Structure 1
Amino acid sequence: MLHKGEPIPYLRLEDQDGKMVSFSDLVGKPLVIYFYPKDNTKVCTAQACGFRDHYEQFQEAGAEVIGISGDSVESHKKVTNHRKLPFLLLSDPKKEALKAFKVPSALFGLLPGRVTFVIDKVGKVAHTFRADFNADKHIKEALKVLKSLD
């Protein structure tokens, strides 16, 4: 995984609306970038809904939330609409972001890992957190770290 102090890679991925999002355009405010294995699975849905339910707190901390998985733009669009997600879901079918952020695999290499990165205003990793089966911890940990950023 990328470590504290490392800059985030500047990639371009499609969001749930098919728009290209460049990471370089997002620098300037704190980011919470979370990687998850698959849309519409129990833990992944709980994680997305947790970020949704606490989204106002992330906004109050000045941060933007971004979810990334290998699912298609269409799959992300369905999840975003069905779950009323107010943040970006980026599609990473070629695993470019997964590799660039050095996200480890889960379940003996069968699934991409569940990792959350808190990024500071200048685009450097402030904190990483991994818990493959406990989605709630990602939200709590990210909010705690955001409050400690200056």
Structure 2
Amino acid sequence: MITDETLAKGQLAPIIKAKDHNGVDVDTESARGHRPVVVFFFPRAFTTGCTREACAFRDSFAAFQSLNAQVIGVSADQPEVLRDFAEKYGLPFHLVSDSDGSLRKLYQVPRSLFGLLTGRVTYVIGRSGRILDIFNSQLSWTEHVNVARKAIAAEEADAT
């Protein structure tokens, strides 16, 4: 259900059930109670900022794995474009096509730059399924990774 309210820290994150760029099922509900999830929405594959952001997640993928975190990138690109993007840049995580905009609506991702571009927002979801952090920045491409890692590491530290 979509309301006029925006998603906030502490709320249960919406469930994503989709196929990734390789046709593999992605279901964030199965992660609840077991592992954190990072969902990063990016405007368009192969553009400068999106490539830098995706490669920053790739370069930090081992750190996310050590935190047992699942990483999911979401854009409006078609699955075949996302497949080419993942192949060209060696992206080891799920990329999900949101060509109909339903996931952006579900996550209430705002448009940016005078409403001309789709937003670049990262949602960090804890083991409980609740949102730990939200980072919204069109231009701070690599900071999305830093925010996600810090939020997950902080939750892990609090659990011990």
Q: Same fold (TM over 0.5)?
A: yes
User: Runs of 5+ in structure 1 lacking a partner?
Assistant: none
Matches within 5 A, 1:1-150: 1-27=6-32, 28-149=34-155, 150=159
Normalised TM-score (structure 1): 0.95
- Separation of aligned partners in 2, 1:62 and 1:12: 20
- Separation of aligned partners in 2, 1:30 and 1:23: 9
Identical-pair percentage? 35
- How far residue 133 of structure 1 moved from its aligned partner, in angstroms, is 0.9
Task: Describe the superposition over 1:115-136 as per-residue Cα deviations: whole angstroms up to 9, x where unpaired.
Answer: 0111001211111011111111
- How far residue 21 of structure 1 moved from its aligned partner, in angstroms, is 2.0
CA RMSD of aligned residues (A): 1.1
Q: Partner residue of 2:3? A: none
User: Runs of 5+ in structure 2 lacking a partner?
Assistant: 1-5
Q: Which structure: larger Rg?
A: 2
Task: Describe the superposition over 1:24-78 as per-residue Cα deviations: whole angstroms up to 9, x where unpaired.
Answer: 2232200111000000000000000000001111111121111001111101100
- Separation of aligned partners in 1, 2:31 and 2:99: 21
Q: Is the 8 A contact 2:71 2:94 kept in 1?
A: yes
- How far residue 96 of structure 1 moved from its aligned partner, in angstroms, is 1.0
Q: Is the 8 A contact 1:13 1:92 kept in 2?
A: no
Normalised TM-score (structure 2): 0.89
Residue identity matched to 1:126: L
- How far residue 2 of structure 1 moved from its aligned partner, in angstroms, is 1.4
Q: How many residues align?
A: 150
Residue identity matched to 1:6: Q
Q: Is the 8 A contact 1:66 1:89 kept in 2?
A: yes
